[in-house]
């Protein structure tokens, strides 16, 4: 009864996995955790993921599912805390401290999951088909800032607001099978269609004048149906060592956007992605498993562009991304796992910008049920321009706007609860 109550509390905290912050809009960030095990291992384990989420990591791993039917639903929780500070100087123009002027702390809800069928086939040792729905990019973001007078009393002047809503969801199907001619080799292919719309708004609400200044009210609808194709291979060299590779082909997302009555097109090019995985299983009865993944994403040849008619109004280019993931999974005699992992990745926005994530998790098994839970934490800091010009609140044509960059501290807490149900008819 206590377990059921705890599960109910966790299910009530459903939220998305791919953190969207202001600087990543509308391209999105590239964290992907299809289930709790993946989060606990820091995203590692592409060659050992025996679950429907292998469609995202390496479809060749689907052949490790030995049950006839496997259903996996992941309920994810993500909290983003964003602190913005500006440099404070004394009257002699000497730097004193970074003064925090706004803190935003928000949760955003979503879910993902998949279904796998293991089909006996003549001449093929293991043939698996899978389908599922997963989050590709999450554009949800909320920013609220109070603007007050810098005099005694701190009278409230205005509220600055940025609100983004919407996700792009991948509807995936995959097929995988063992290669009869080469023992230990499995191949898989995944195809996913992206669907979803995005809304974005920036505004200032003046308190005393009861007036709203709307800077941007934008609606984005998909103009194409992006197809995400990936190919995976897993080779189990022995009972202790497995290796694999996953390739995600490039694709483009085209939005038909409407803003202030203007119609224009936005194109986002997503790159070729390569991932190599490795798993080592210890010899002792207590099953200790080391998972390592290395990946490279070719962002430097891609770009973001927006245009009205034939005139390109904005473009943005990116840097390549390198990431390293490592996780250790220890399964005790009672089949209770303990998992820890970490991930380090560079950012496609700037070569010198990096992100690090640390995760941990556990779970329990029953005859047909498996429940896993995991949590992870990531923190990053960077410099960014002020989102709202101070001149908006000063009725003085000679006012000099602040040109110093803000310091932005972002802390993200992840939590995933995965429930798997399996049936074997053989």
Residues in the chain: 426
Residues 6+ apart with CB under 8 A from 238: none
Q: Looking at the predicted structure, is the pLDDT value of residue 314 above 70?
A: no
Burial of 399 (0-12, 13-18, 19+ CB in 10 A): exposed
**Residue of 358, 347, 389, 334 lying closest to 147 (CA atoms):** 389
Quote the pLDDT of residue 152: 64
Over the chain, what is the mean pLDDT?
85
Average pLDDT over residues 313-328: 87
Q: Looking at the predicted structure, is the pLDDT value of residue 357 above 80?
A: yes
**Residue of 426, 415, 422 lying closest to 35 (CA atoms):** 415
Sheet of strand 156-165, all strands in order from the earlier edge strand to the far edge: 141-148, 156-165, 197-206, 211-222, 251-259, 262-270, 303-308, 311-317
More confident residue, 287 or 72: 72
Domain spans of the chain, in order of start: 2-423
pTM of the full predicted structure? 0.87
Q: Looking at the predicted structure, is the pLDDT value of residue 121 above 70?
A: no
Quote the pLDDT of residue 51: 93
Q: Looking at the predicted structure, is the pLDDT value of residue 62 above 60?
A: yes
Q: Looking at the predicted structure, is the pLDDT value of residue 397 above 80?
A: no
Contact 287, 328 (CB under 8 A): no
Contact 420, 74 (CB under 8 A): no
| Greatest distance between any 2 Cα atoms in the chain | 83
Distance CA 423, CA 426 (A): 9
Contact 288, 328 (CB under 8 A): yes
**Residue of 420, 412, 334, 328 lying closest to 16 (CA atoms):** 412
Distance CA 109, CA 105 (A): 14
CATH code of the domain made up of 2-423: 2.40.160.60
| Radius of gyration from C-alpha coordinates of the chain | 24
Distance CA 72, CA 416 (A): 12
Q: Looking at the predicted structure, is the pLDDT value of residue 7 above 50?
A: no
| Secondary structure of the chain in HEC code, one letter for each residue | CHHHHHHHHHHCCCCCCCCCCHHHCCCCCCCCCCCHHHHHCCCCCCCCCCCCCHHHHCHHHHHHCCCCEEEEEEEEEEEEEEEEEEEEECCCCCEEEEEEEEEEEEECCCEEEEEEEEEEECCEEEEEEEEEEEEEEECCEEEEEEEECCCCCCCEEEEEEEEEECEEEEEEEEEEEECCCCCCEEEEEEEEEEECEEEEEEEEEECCCCEEEEEEEEEEEECCCCEEEEEEEEEECCCCEEEEEEEECCEEEEEEEEECCEEEEEEEEECCEEEEEEEEECCCCCEEEEEEEEEEECHHHCEEEEEECCEEEEEEECCCEEEEEEEEEEECCCCCEEEEEEEEEECCCCCCCEEEEEEEEEEEECCCEEEEEEEEEEEEEEEECCCCCHHHHCCCCCCCCCCCCEEEEEEEEEEEEEEEEEECCC
Average pLDDT over residues 328-335: 82
Tracing tokens 């791919």 back to the chain, one arrives at 18
- In the structure encoding, which two tokens stand for residue 260, read together? 């202030």
Partners of 414 in the beta sheet? Answer: 78, 376
**pLDDT tens digit string along 287-297?**
789 999 999 99
Quote the pLDDT of residue 8: 33
**pLDDT tens digit string along 406-418?**
999 999 999 999 9
């Amino acid at each position: 009864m206590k377990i059921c109550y705890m599960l109910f509390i966790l299910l009530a905290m459903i939220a998305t996995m791919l953190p969207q912050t202001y600087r990543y809009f509308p391209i999105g960030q590239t964290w992907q955790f299809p289930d709790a095990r993946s989060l606990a291992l820091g995203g590692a384990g592409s060659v050992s993921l025996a679950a429907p989420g292998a469609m995202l990591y390496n479809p060749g791993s689907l052949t490790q599912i030995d049950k006839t039917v496997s259903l996996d639903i992941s309920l994810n929780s993500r909290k983003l805390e964003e602190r913005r500070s500006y440099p404070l100087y004394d009257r002699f123009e000497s730097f004193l401290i970074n003064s925090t002027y706004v803190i935003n702390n928000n949760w955003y809800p979503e879910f993902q999951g998949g279904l796998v069928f293991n089909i006996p086939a003549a001449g093929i040792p293991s043939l698996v088909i899978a389908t599922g729905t997963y989050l590709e990019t999450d554009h949800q973001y909320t920013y609220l800032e109070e603007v007050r007078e810098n005099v005694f009393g701190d009278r409230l002047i205005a509220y600055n607001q940025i609100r983004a809503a919407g996700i792009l969801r991948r509807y995936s199907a995959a097929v995988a099978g063992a290669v009869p001619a080469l023992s230990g080799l499995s191949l898989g292919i995944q195809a996913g269609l992206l669907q979803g719309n995005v809304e974005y708004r920036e505004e200032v609400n003046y308190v005393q004048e009861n007036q709203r200044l709307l800077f941007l009210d934008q609606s984005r609808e998909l103009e194409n149906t992006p197809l995400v194709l990936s190919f995976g291979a897993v080779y189990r060299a022995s009972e202790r060592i497995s290796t694999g590779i996953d390739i995600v082909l490039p694709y483009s997302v085209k939005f038909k956007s409407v803003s202030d009555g203007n119609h224009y097109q936005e194109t986002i090019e997503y790159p070729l992605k390569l991932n190599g995985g490795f798993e080592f299983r210890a010899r002792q009865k207590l099953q200790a498993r080391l998972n390592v993944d290395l990946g490279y994403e070719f962002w430097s040849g891609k770009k973001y562009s927006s245009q009205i008619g034939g005139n390109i109004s904005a473009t943005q280019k990116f840097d390549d991304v390198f990431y390293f993931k490592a996780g250790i999974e220890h399964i005790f005699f009672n089949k209770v796992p303990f998992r820890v992992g970490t991930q380090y990745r560079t950012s496609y926005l700037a070569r010198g910008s990096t992100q690090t994530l640390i995760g941990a998790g556990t779970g329990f098994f029953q005859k047909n049920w498996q429940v896993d839970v995991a949590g992870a934490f990531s923190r990053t800091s960077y410099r960014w321009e002020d989102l709202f010009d101070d001149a908006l609140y000063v009725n003085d044509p000679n006012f000099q706007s602040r040109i110093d960059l803000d310091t932005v501290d972002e802390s993200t807490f992840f939590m995933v609860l995965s429930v798997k149900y399996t049936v074997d008819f053989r």
